[in-house]
Amino acid sequence: MASILIQDACVLINLLASGRFEDLANGCGFRFAISAGVAQEALFLRNPDSVGREKINLERIVECGILEILTLESEAEKLRYIEIALDLDDGEAESVAIAECRHFALATDDKKARKVIQRRGMKIELWSTCALLQHWQSKCLVSDADMGRALANISSRAKYRPKFGHPDFEWWAKLLSK
């Protein structure tokens, strides 16, 4: 298992929405990171107390060392990034290029990103939002009720839920009703 997990914008939003980001970062057995491109994207969550949205402020969790922001370094990384940017958006392309070149794990739920990684034959350890949450639950013995609350937060604040037919659809629905 890789020591660093780089998250794309979508997974980052989901994990932050769960309200348990710090616990996940401490309990999953990875150091959490994102690319500078993802950090620069406009990241918002739904505000639970109003109909508006709130801007995600990464400053605190970066300062505390819970999340690391990585930039492209070598020429090889930059070239790989440009190559992947033919298919993916900048933030995603950076995340994939860094994960591949530095042998980090990558967390993405995105069908397209996974398709591109597979088509290009890239050897990257892949995680998803659900896989990370399940890993955290079993590793840290998180109760179903706590997990249900985290999933409810993700559903309401990040508007994410596995779709009908997704392998984790039943798991999500079951815990959500706890």
Binding footprint of another protein on the chain (CB under 8 A):
8-10, 13, 41-46, 53, 72, 75-76, 78-83, 85-86, 88-93, 109-115, 157-160, 163-165, 173, 176-177
Q: Is the Cβ–Cβ distance between 58 and 67 less than 8 Å? A: yes
Give least dist CB 102 to another protein, A: 16
Q: Is the Cβ–Cβ distance between 172 and 130 less than 8 Å? A: yes
Query: By C-beta, is 10 or 33 nearer to another protein?
Result: 10
Query: By C-beta, is 139 or 159 nearer to another protein?
Result: 159
Query: By C-beta, is 44 or 69 nearer to another protein?
Result: 44
At 92, list the tokens. Answer: 């995603």
Of the CA atoms within 13 Å of residue 35, those in its CB half-sphere come to 29
Give least dist CB 176 to another protein, A: 8
Give least dist CB 89 to another protein, A: 4
3 state DSSP class of 138: helix
Give least dist CB 65 to another protein, A: 25
CA distances for 44 relative to 18, 97, 106, 125, angstroms: 13, 24, 21, 27
Q: Is the Cβ–Cβ distance between 143 and 114 less than 8 Å? A: no
Query: By C-beta, is 62 or 169 nearer to another protein?
Result: 169
